[in-house]
């Protein structure tokens, strides 16, 4: 039966030129198999082949494991499936003639070096960022969490990719029911491929949210650890530099990685700025349109005259003009993201000078509309993770403001808040600590207490240890 | 159900918004028509009456904490299923008429103040749709939204009410009680339909989360603040406009004129007025939720999804102002139904603690 495992294995990989097979004898006949592209030649040679070739008198595979294998991770595989899982991940398999198998960690360490993540730059604080290698990422977490309470549950997801996923948490802080629920959710995923952690984020969002992100994403190990210490679970995916954190609150979007390394009064000022600029970004274009179309009396007289003079000769309605400006801005942003950085500068110039200035001079767009569009666009970047969502929202709100006036803007605001208020994942209300109001959690929401004064863990994140002291 | 659970503090904030959301447009002019500058006394009397009923209702909530029975179960167990259904019909009518009045007031506000006239269907349908979205998402979502927006709405109302204070001649409210005590009290009973904003609490009776047995303080505090705000607004309005106040239907929007010192500054008060309007829309959502729950109890349909027939029926009733003016609705339906409505508004809350106790004990016996 077990002999069949080796035969089955060889049958499965017959015709694959990437597979390296070597027969050795060290008292018993062994077959060493590895994947050329996934294994480090030096490791295969020094951890597996050298000890085997020079050895004599081994009696069985257990003796080979305990006395000959020099690899740090050597395990006896329980079945063919687990042998294949190890094999495709870069382990070298050592088979005996009876079909018993050892797997030795000989994975290659090809990948980029740890560097500062481009999406989370900070003025102060650690500059290390996650990379695509799961092992390195777990190392980055462990480096900061030198405790026996750090736990990692490893599973594989994806029928073809068999992607390694690690569920990391701090035992004694994270809520065990949430850890179990997340583990079950991930184990239940039935899909061909998991190419990035964002694939998993969609499966973990039980509400199937259409607009807003429901799973936290970070590229910085210090942030991931800070969240784990608050009771969250971190999910590290092989091949992705983005680590997922759960449960997730909307207010986390307002927080920047550098917030905890600055004076708390500066942090609060920064967060208020972000909040105000996002509100202004979404509402300003719609208010501009509906005030110009319906309720121009609200605008102070001198300001109104300036606007009227600027938009008098514009061939479009205020709504069409504003939508045009916003869409042009979105196109420029999309193009800028996908252009090589050298061309990006030229594109910015073309956008600013040709489209902006020339369109105003040609009388196609009004200067106030361009200014408001630009202001709104820049404001969106204070929330880099949600720029696209907010951009879509501002288009919708602007359209409603143009069609229904202040009523449309008011109703759109209510619908958005109603929807956000209804969201709840892993026992955590999305809009906590504001709705519902959780006074303790306001210590680090928009406002921030100095770090030494934050003695309680957030109540909105379920956890098993409420206090940070002792 | 978890999605309909509401905390006692959330309920208090919602109640305060409900008071502020319904009495600032038409009611001041209606009361001024009846009792002139003594309208604030009618309000005061009304609120005292409301306070008594509310205290009984809160007592019932406290008694209900253990078993968490809903209104229809309590009524079924105590006053029979038939009476229970009749009460649900009365509640449904009250909520639908109140929703229509609020919708019509806002419609007028948009047409007259904001100068935006539109077709009733185009105006009412989106609001009704949001109401049904709220029903689908659960009462908890409305409560959380109210909690989130409470600060800004409260600030907007305060700014609107207090901005003309320096120009108000409060002496114009003298002599106090000129209209006569009988007329002041009589006007309250005649206009009682406008009071008892606590009615929606019946429909979350089984879903209120109370911490440390604190039921009375949060709700009664919110009620007191709402009452003071409403009376102050009424007094300021009547003092500002004197005998003209009975002809000015949109009180808060007219008070807002004093918010801006001169026309070249622009009508910034409209922005605050729009913020206050959110409380009206939230109140409409609460009423649509309650109306839907009435139908749910009447026809005993229970499903995670919205019942299409109930949605269509409520939507059709919200189209009433296209055919009948809200003044007519008020004068006919409310005049005909004043006594039954008073039973639901005032007799039911006073008897709720006893009914709750009775239902609890009956349930215990049956177990």
What are the pLDDT digits (tens) for B156-195? Answer: 999 888 888 888 888 888 888 787 888 888 888 888 888 8
Determine the pLDDT at residue A178. Answer: 94
What is the structure's pLDDT at B57?
Answer: 94
Q: What is the pLDDT of residues A211-235, one digit of tens each?
A: 888 899 999 999 999 999 999 999 9
| Chain A residues in contact with chain B using a Cβ-Cβ cutoff of 8 Å | 294-295, 297-304, 404-407, 409-411, 413-415, 417-419, 421-422, 429, 431, 434-437
Neighbours of B305 (CB within 10 A): 6
What are the tokens at A174? Answer: 């994270």
Does residue A404 sit within a domain?
yes
Judge: B116–A294 Cβ closer than 8 Å, yes or no.
yes
List the single residue in B9, B144, B281 with the smallest CB-CB distance to A410: B281
pLDDT computed for residue A1 by the predictor: 45
Residue in A294, A405, A422 nearest the CB of B138: A422
Share of chain A above pLDDT 70, in %: 98
Contacts of B271 in chain A (CB under 8 A): 298
C-alpha distance from residue B112 to each of A364, A406, B45, B102, B108 (Å) = 34, 14, 31, 15, 6
- Judge contact between A167 and A145, C-beta under 8 A: no
Structure tokens at B9: 């503090």
Confidence bin at B99 (pLDDT 50/70/90) = very high
Instruction: Name residue, tokens 């009615």.
Output: B199
- B2-366 CATH: 1.20.1740
The beta-carbon contacts of A166-171 under 8 Å, at least 24 apart in sequence, are A166/A134, A166/A137, A166/A138, A166/A235, A166/A236, A166/A237, A167/A233, A167/A234, A167/A235, A168/A138, A168/A141, A168/A228, A168/A233, A168/A234, A168/A235, A168/A236, A169/A228, A169/A232, A169/A233, A169/A234, A170/A145, A170/A228, A170/A229, A170/A231
Residue A453 lies in a domain: no
**What is the 3-state secondary structure of chain A?**
CHHHHHHHHHHHCCCCCCEEEEEEECCCEEEEEEECCCECHHHHHHHHHHHHHHCCCCCCHHHHHHHHCCCCCEEECCCHHHHHHHHHCCEEEEEECCCCEEEEECECCCCCCCCCCCCCCCCCCCCCCCCCCHHHHHHHHHHHCCCCCEEEEEEEECCCCCEEEEEEEECCCECHHHHHHHHHHHHCCCCCCCCCHHHHHHHHCCCCCCCCCCCEEECCHHHHHHHHHCCCEEEEECCCCCEEEECCCHHHHHCCHHHHHCCHHHHHHHHHHHHHHHHHHHHHHHHHHHHHHCCHHHCCHHHHHHHHHHHCCCCCCHHHHHHHHHHHHHHHHHHHHHCCHHHHHHHHHHHHHHHHHHHHHCCCCCHHHHHHHHHHHHHHCCCHHHHHHHHHHHHHHHHHHHHHCHHHHHHHHHHHHHHHHHCEECCEECCCCCCCCCHHHHHECCCECCHHHCCECCCCCCECCCECCC
- Residues A334 and B315: their CA atoms lie apart, in Å, by 42
Task: Flag residues of chain A having pLDDT under 50.
Answer: 1-2
End-to-end alpha carbon distance in chain A:
56
> A408 to chain B, minimum CA–CA distance in Å?
9
List CB contacts (< 8 A) between A421 and chain B. Answer: 137, 140-142, 144-145, 148
Same domain, A67 and A27: yes
Sequence-separated (6 or more) residues with CB below 8 Å from residue B174 = none
Please judge whether B144 and A299 are an interchain contact, meaning their C-beta atoms are less than 8 angstroms apart: no
A436–B281 CB contact, under 8 Å: no
Residues of A in contact with B126 (CB under 8 A): 404, 411
Helix crossing, B269-299 with B120-137: angle to 10°?
A: 60
Tokens (6 digits) for A374 = 């630009």
Q: How far apart are the C-alpha atoms of A264 and B182, rounded to whole Å? A: 61
Work out the angle between the directed axes of helices A406-422 and A387-404 (0-180°, nearest 10): 140
pLDDT at B1: 57
Are B266 and A301 in contact, with CB atoms under 8 Å apart? yes
Q: Do B137 and A302 touch (CB under 8 A)?
A: no
CA A202 to chain centre: 11
Interface size between A and B, measured as CB pairs under 8 A: 102
Which chain B residues are within 8 Å of A431, Cβ to Cβ?
Answer: 144, 148
Task: State mean pLDDT over B314-331.
Answer: 85
Residues of B in contact with A308 (CB under 8 A): none
Q: Which residues of A touch B274 (CB under 8 A)?
A: 406, 409-410
A119 within some domain: no
Q: Are A253 and A269 members of one domain?
A: no
Chain B: residue whose CA lies nearest to A305: B264
Is the residue at A54 inside a domain?
yes
- Distance from A254 to chain B by nearest Cα, in Å? 16
Assess whether A25 and A157 both reside in one domain: no
Q: CB–CB of A401/A317 below 8 Å?
A: no
Nearest residue of B to residue A432, measured between CA atoms:
B144
CA distance B313 to chain A (A): 22
Q: Which residues of A touch B211 (CB under 8 A)?
A: none
Q: Give dist(CA A333, CA A329) in Å, integer.
A: 6
Q: The pTM is what?
A: 0.88
Quick check: B145 and A421 CB within 8 A? Answer: yes
Q: Is A459 inside a domain boundary?
A: no
Interface of B with A (CB under 8 A): 3, 7, 9-10, 110, 114-116, 118, 123, 126-127, 130, 133-134, 137-138, 140-142, 144-145, 147-149, 263-268, 270-271, 274, 277-278, 281-282, 285
| Nearest chain B residue (CA) to A416 | B145
Contacts of A437 in chain B (CB under 8 A): 9-10, 147
Residue-range definition of the domain harbouring residue A73: 2-105
Beta bridge partner(s), residue A467 = A456
Residue pair B32/B245 in contact (Cβ under 8 Å)? The answer is yes
The dihedral sign for the CA sequence B358, B359, B360, B363? positive
> What chain A residue is nearest to B277 in terms of C-alpha separation?
A410
Contact list in B for residue A417 (CB cut-off 8 A) is 145, 148-149
**Chain B nearest C-alpha distance from A240 (Å):** 35
Contact across the interface for A418 and B138, Cβ inside 8 Å = no
Same domain, A271 and A401: yes
Please tell me whether residues A290 and A219 are part of one structural domain: no
Entry field: residues in chain B: 367
Is the model more confident about A33 or about B328?
A33
How far is the C-alpha of A103 from the C-alpha of A93, rounded, in Å?
Answer: 5
CA distances from A411 to A392, A406, B131 (A): 17, 8, 11
**What b/e string do you get for A119-136 counting C-beta neighbours within 10 Å, with b at 16 or more?**
ebebeebbebbbbbbbbb
**Domain match, A383 and A410 both:** yes
Domain annotation covers residue A339: yes
In a domain, A276, yes or no: yes
Shared domain check, A139 and A191: yes
A429 neighbourhood in chain B, CB within 8 Å: 144
Nearest to A435 among B145, B277, B278 (CB): B145
Contacts of A34 (CB under 8 A, 6+ apart): A19, A20, A44, A48, A87, A91, A92, A93, A106
- Yes or no: say if B142 and B286 are a contact pair by the CB < 8 Å rule: yes
Angle between helices A387-404 and A367-380 in degrees, nearest 10: 140
* A284/A193 same-domain check: no
Asked which of A233, A260, A287 is the last residue of a domain, the reply is: A260
Which of B145, B282, B288 to probe by mutation at the A interface, max A CB count within 10 Å?
Answer: B145
Round to whole Å and give the CA distance between A369 and A360. 10
CA A410/CA A397 separation, integer angstroms = 9
CA B187 to chain centroid: 18
Residues A147 and A40 in one domain: no
Q: Considering only CB atoms, which chain B residues are within 8 Å of A435?
A: 144-145, 147-148
Number of compact structural domains in chain A: 3
Largest CA distance in chain A: 99
User: Which residues does chain B have within 8 Å of residue A300's beta carbon, measured at their own beta carbons?
Assistant: 264-266
Q: Are residues A211 and A288 in the same domain?
A: no
Subunit contact B282:A299, Cβ cutoff 8 A: no
Does residue A269 sit in the same domain as residue A407?
yes
Residue A115 domain-assigned? no
> Among B3, B140, B278, whose Cβ lies nearest the Cβ of A410?
B278
Say if residue A394 is exposed, middle or buried (CB neighbours under 10 Å; 0-12, 13-18, 19+). Answer: buried
pLDDT digits 0-9 by tens, B262-305? 667 778 888 888 899 999 999 999 999 999 999 999 998 877 78
Q: What is the ipTM of this complex?
A: 0.92
**CA B340/CA B14 separation, integer angstroms:** 26
* Residue indicated by tokens 């002139």: B36
Please report, rounded to a whole number, the percentage of residues in chain B having pLDDT higher than 70.
Answer: 98
The residue of chain B nearest to residue A400, with distances taken between CA atoms, is B126
Residue A402: closest C-alpha in chain B: B116
Torsions phi, psi for B34 (to 5 deg): -80, -45
Confirm if B355 and B75 have CB atoms less than 8 A apart. yes
Predicted local distance difference test score (pLDDT) of residue A364: 85
Residue B261: the pLDDT is: 62
Asked if A89 and A167 sit in the same domain, the reply is: no
What integer pLDDT is reported at residue B17 of this predicted model?
A: 92
Spell out which residues of chain A touch residue B265, defining contact as CB-CB under 8 Å: 300-301
Contacts with A12 (C-beta within 8 Å, 6 or more apart), sequence order: A84
Say if the Cβ atoms of A435 and B126 lie within 8 Å: no
Residue A170: phi, psi to the nearest 5?
-105, 115
CB A73 within 8 A of CB A105: yes
């Amino acid at each position: 039966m077990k002999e069949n495992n080796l035969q089955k294995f060889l049958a499965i990989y017959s015709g694959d030129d990437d597979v390296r097979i070597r027969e050795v004898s060290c008292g018993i006949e062994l077959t060493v198999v590895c994947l050329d592209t996934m294994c480090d030649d030096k490791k295969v040679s020094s951890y597996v082949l050298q000890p085997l070739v020079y050895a004599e008198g081994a009696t069985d595979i257990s003796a080979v494991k305990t006395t000959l294998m020099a690899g740090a991770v050597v395990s006896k595989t329980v079945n063919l499936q687990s042998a294949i899982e190890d094999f495709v991940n870069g382990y070298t398999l050592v088979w005996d003639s009876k079909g018993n198998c050892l797997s030795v960690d000989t994975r290659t360490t090809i990948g980029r070096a740890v560097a500062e993540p481009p999406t989370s730059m900070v003025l102060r604080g650690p500059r290390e960022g996650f990379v695509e290698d799961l092992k390195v990422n777990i190392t980055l977490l462990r480096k900061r969490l030198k405790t026996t309470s750090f736990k990692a549950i490893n599973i594989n997801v994806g029928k073809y990719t068999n992607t390694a996923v690690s569920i990391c948490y701090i035992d004694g802080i994270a809520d065990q029911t949430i850890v179990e629920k997340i583990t079950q959710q991930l184990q239940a995923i039935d899909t061909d491929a998991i190419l990035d952690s964002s694939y998993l984020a969609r499966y973990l969002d039980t509400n199937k949210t259409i607009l807003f992100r429901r799973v936290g994403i970070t590229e910085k190990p210090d942030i991931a650890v800070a969240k784990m210490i608050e009771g969250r679970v971190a999910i590290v995916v092989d091949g992705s530099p983005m680590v997922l954190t759960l449960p997730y609150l909307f207010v986390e979007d307002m927080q920047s990685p550098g917030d905890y390394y600055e004076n708390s009064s500066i942090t609060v000022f920064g967060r208020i700025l972000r909040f105000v600029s996002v509100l202004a970004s979404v509402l300003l274009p719609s208010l501009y349109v509906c005030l110009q179309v319906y309720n121009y009396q609200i605008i102070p007289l001198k300001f109104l005259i300036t606007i009227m003079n600027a938009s008098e000769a514009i061939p479009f309605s205020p709504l069409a003009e504003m939508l045009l400006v916003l869409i042009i801005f979105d196109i420029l942003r999309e193009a800028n993201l996908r252009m090589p950085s050298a061309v990006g500068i030229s594109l910015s110039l073309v956008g600013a000078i040709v489209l902006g200035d020339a369109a105003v001079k040609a009388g196609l767009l009004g200067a106030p509309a361009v200014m408001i569009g630009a202001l709104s666009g820049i404001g969106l970047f204070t929330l880099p993770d949600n720029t696209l969502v907010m951009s879509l929202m501002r288009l919708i709100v602007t359209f409603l403001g143009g069609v229904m006036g202040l009523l449309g803007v008011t109703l759109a605001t209510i619908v958005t808040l109603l929807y956000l208020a209804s969201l709840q994942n892993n026992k955590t209300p999305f809009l906590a600590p504001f709705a519902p109001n959780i006074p303790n959690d306001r210590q680090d929401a928009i406002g921030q207490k100095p770090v030494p004064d934050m003695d309680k863990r957030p109540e909105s994140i379920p956890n098993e240890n409420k206090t940070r002291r002792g | 159900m978890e999605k309909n659970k509401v905390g006692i503090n959330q309920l208090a904030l919602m109640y305060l918004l409900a008071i502020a959301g319904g009495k600032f447009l038409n009611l001041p002019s209606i009361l001024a028509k009846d009792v002139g500058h003594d309208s604030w006394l009618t309000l005061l009397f009304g609120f005292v009456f409301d306070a008594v009923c509310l205290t009984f209702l809160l007592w019932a909530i406290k008694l209900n904490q253990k078993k968490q029975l809903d209104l229809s179960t309590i009524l079924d167990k105590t006053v029979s299923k038939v009476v229970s259904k009749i009460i649900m019909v009365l509640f449904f009518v009250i909520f639908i008429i109140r929703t229509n009045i609020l919708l019509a007031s806002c419609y007028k506000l948009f047409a007259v103040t904001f100068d935006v006239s539109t077709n009733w269907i185009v105006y009412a349908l989106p609001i009704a749709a949001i109401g049904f979205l709220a029903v689908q998402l659960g009462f908890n979502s409305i409560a959380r939204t109210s909690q989130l927006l409470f600060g800004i709405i409260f600030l907007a109302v305060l700014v609107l009410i207090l901005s003309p204070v320096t120009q108000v001649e409060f002496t114009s409210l003298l002599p106090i009680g000129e209209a006569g005590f009988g007329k002041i009290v009589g006007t309250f009973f005649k206009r009682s339909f406008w009071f008892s904003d606590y009615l929606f609490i019946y429909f979350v009776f089984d879903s209120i989360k109370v911490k440390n047995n604190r039921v009375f303080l949060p709700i009664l505090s919110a009620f007191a603040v709402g009452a003071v705000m409403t009376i102050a607004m009424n007094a300021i309005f009547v003092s500002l406009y004197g005998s003209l106040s009975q002809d000015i239907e949109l009180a808060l929007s007219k008070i807002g004129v004093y918010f801006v010192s001169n026309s070249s500054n622009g009508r910034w008060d409209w922005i605050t007025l729009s913020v206050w309007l959110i409380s009206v829309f939230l109140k409409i959502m609460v009423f649509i939720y309650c109306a839907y729950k009435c139908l749910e109890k009447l026809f005993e349909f229970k499903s995670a999804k919205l019942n299409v027939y109930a949605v269509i029926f409520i939507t059709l009733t919200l189209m009433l102002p296209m055919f009948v003016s809200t003044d007519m609705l008020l004068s006919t339906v409310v005049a005909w139904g004043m006594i039954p409505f008073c039973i639901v508004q005032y007799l039911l809350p006073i008897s709720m603690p006893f009914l709750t106790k009775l239902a609890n004990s009956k349930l215990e016996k049956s177990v």
